[in-house]
Amino acid sequence: MGFWERIANIDRRWIYLLVALSVTLPMIIAMKFPIGLTPEAKQLFNAIDALPDSSAVMLTFDYYPSTIAETEPMSVAALRHMFSKDMHVLTVSNIPLGGPSIAERVTRAVAAEFGKEYGIDYVNLGYRANYVAVMHGLASSIESIFMSDNTGTPLRELPMMQNIKNYDDLDFIYVVADNATVDYWISIVNAQYDIRVGSGVTAVVAPKMYAFVESGQMTGLLGGMKGAAEYEKLLGKKGTATRGMDSQSLVHLLVIFFVIVGNIGYFASRKKEKK
Amino acid sequence: MLENLTFVEHFQIWLRAFLILSLFSFLYKDNIFYKFSEHIFAGLSAGYYVGLIWRSVIVQQLINPMFDNSEWWLVFPGILGVLMFARLKPKWTWVSRVSLAFVIGNTAGIYLISSLHGMIFKQIAPMMVSVNQGDGLEKILLALLVIVGVITTLVYFYFSKEHKGALGVTARVGIWFIMIAFGAHFGYTVMGRISLLIGRAEFLFYQWGGSLTQIF
């Protein structure tokens, strides 16, 4: 068996080990790979930045706990940006498994950094089943869908909700999602109720979203951990996404190396077979 | 650096670490720890969903509005929901079709409008603009590229005529555009999957490692 054949038949567990080492090495030795900025991330940042102070915005937590490495840094960076401009933040989740509790934990932690008060500066609506019906229902009355917040407090008792009754009272919707709900924020809420929507999505979802940015249906886009790191860079406050990007970049180099070696091995084996 | 953890917090971190490592152990080979964690996940998810649907649908959207706000008309969707259980008995399966007809009709109507408004019209409209918008050569070339990409890709999915001659050449150009799109998806998927691994690795390194340091 030749060298390239041995490479082609290598036990895949060696590859797992190399990937594991590439992920953990930057946690021990900081590598500081550069993070470039994309126009889509700048567009989202500028859209939030251009909103008047004290605007009312909706931030969605449409993601499962399994993807928090990508999505939670987006939520944290967005909340820091919004609270730094004294915005009123309304959070909602269309994902039952984890979404509302992640929203509760993350929002309270970031609010504490800025001295913001629940009910006055931010409210967590929680989760209601059937997100298509929820998105349509919020257009006429938030209280018709969410009579109480995530902890059971009636919305009419929360000061912030006295001025936010439906989409007309919101200046922007910032969707953080790891699934198809983002499609409906665009095709229902943006298209039918004309509310500006920007999003931060997982890398798996991101490629499809570029078409919506190009068509003007979506105002800015963050794609995966890289997108979150970009927002952190624009905000000037490093977070877990920036930290994770060293591992991400090193593994990408490893994957590129494997792709090149795999292709050389394939062509070398084919050439040998022809002979 | 983690603050001083309580016993309960230590226990939570160690339980999470055990489950993560048990699931990762499958990468070496299938084993009892992997199966144990997998079954716990499946069982917990099923139980959680049952509880969630009971609270957020049955209680919050049916029972509470009926009894607290006297919205008695909700009895009709409630009956439609009960009819779905008729599927459990083969002789009565036909009864559940009443509920299914409502669900299918309702869903088709809602999704048709959102697809037309949000996807089809809004995506086609940017294709209809002039390529010569006076925004410079770069914009014109990009607009032309999009037009060529859309047309050739659509031609590739036209199967009513054999892909030969001009149609074949156009379809082959379409394949290139499709392949580039697949490449972009693959690249992003790699990034997404590695991000999941990074998330777990960071938990093990910083939180479990922090707990280990505090204990020992």
What is the interface pTM, i.e. ipTM, of the complex?
Answer: 0.86
Report the distance separating Cα B166 and Cα B146, nearest Å: 20
Q: What is the mean pLDDT of residues B183-206?
A: 92
A105 near A124, Cβ under 8 Å?
Answer: no
What is the model's pLDDT at position B130?
67
A204 near A180, Cβ under 8 Å?
Answer: no
User: What are the phi and psi torsion angles at A61 (to 5°)?
Assistant: -115, 65
Q: CA of A102 to nearest chain B CA: how many angstroms apart? A: 15
B165 near B190, Cβ under 8 Å?
Answer: no
What is the model's pLDDT at position B132?
66
The residue type found at A188 is: I
Report the distance separating Cα A188 and Cα A130, nearest Å: 14
| Nearest CB neighbour to A226, from listed B113, B191, B205 | B191
| Nearest CB neighbour to A23, from listed B115, B198, B206 | B198
A224 to B53: CB separation less than 8 angstroms, yes or no:
no
Q: Which residues is A200 bridged to in the sheet?
A: A176, A222
Instruction: At A185, list the tokens.
Output: 């924020």
**pLDDT tens for each residue of B84-128:** 999 888 898 999 999 999 989 988 888 888 888 888 888 888 777
Residues of B within 8 A of A70 (CB-CB) are: 192, 195-196, 199
Residues of B within 8 A of A214 (CB-CB) are: 126
Sheet architecture: strand order including A122-127: A122-127, A88-93, A56-62, A172-177, A197-201, A221-223
Is the pLDDT score of A15 beyond 80? yes
A208 near A181, Cβ under 8 Å?
Answer: no
What is the model's pLDDT at position A9?
79
Q: Is residue B192 part of a domain?
A: yes
Give the three-class secondary structure for A141.
Answer: coil
Q: How many CB atoms lie within 10 A of CB B22?
A: 18
Q: What is the mean pLDDT of residues B139-155?
A: 87
Angle at B123 (CA atoms; ends B119, B127), nearest 5 degrees = 160
Q: Is residue B165 part of a domain?
A: yes
Q: CA of B117 to nearest chain A CA: how many angstroms apart? A: 6
B31 — pLDDT class (breaks 50, 70, 90):
very high
State the count of interchain CB pairs (< 8 A) between A and B.
124
What is the model's pLDDT at position A22?
94
Closest CA to B203 of A224, A30, A243, A233: A243
Instruction: Say which residue, B2 or A66, is predicted with more confidence.
Output: A66
**pLDDT tens for each residue of A176-222:** 999 889 999 998 999 889 899 999 999 999 999 998 998 889 999 99
A228 near A222, Cβ under 8 Å?
Answer: yes
Q: Is residue B191 part of a domain?
A: yes
Q: For chain A, give the mean pLDDT.
A: 91
The upper half-sphere exposure of residue B176, i.e. CA atoms within 13 Å in the direction of its Cβ, equals: 10
Of all residues in chain B, what percent carry a pLDDT higher than 70?
96
Residues of A within 8 A of B122 (CB-CB) are: 191, 215, 217
The single-letter DSSP state of residue A154 is B
A205-244 burial string, b = 16+ CB within 10 Å, else e?
Answer: bbbebeebbebebbbbbbbbbbbbbbbbbbbeeebbbbbb
**pLDDT tens for each residue of A75-126:** 999 999 999 999 999 999 998 888 888 999 999 999 999 999 999 999 999 9
Residues of A within 8 A of B117 (CB-CB) are: 187, 191-192
Report the distance separating Cα B73 and Cα B17, nearest Å: 50
Asked if A129 is an interface residue toward chain B (Cβ–Cβ < 8 A), one would say yes
Q: Is B181 left (phi over 0), alpha (psi -120 to 50) or beta?
A: alpha
What is the model's pLDDT at position A105?
93
Is the pLDDT score of B148 beyond 70? yes
**pLDDT tens for each residue of B14-27:** 999 999 999 999 99
What is the model's pLDDT at position B138?
80
Report the distance separating Cα A142 and Cα B2, nearest Å: 39
The boundaries of the domain holding residue B165 are 130-216
What is the model's pLDDT at position B133?
63
Q: Is residue B59 part of a domain?
A: no
User: What are the phi and psi torsion angles at A52 (to 5°)?
Assistant: -60, 150
B→A contacts (Cβ < 8 Å), by residue, are 27-28, 45, 48-49, 52-53, 56-57, 60-61, 110-111, 113-115, 117-119, 122-123, 125-126, 181, 184-185, 188-192, 194-202, 205-206
| Nearest CB neighbour to B185, from listed A24, A127, A207 | A207
Q: Is residue B96 part of a domain?
A: no
As for how many domains chain B has, the answer is 1
- The model's pTM is 0.87
Q: CA of B51 to nearest chain A CA: how many angstroms apart? A: 11
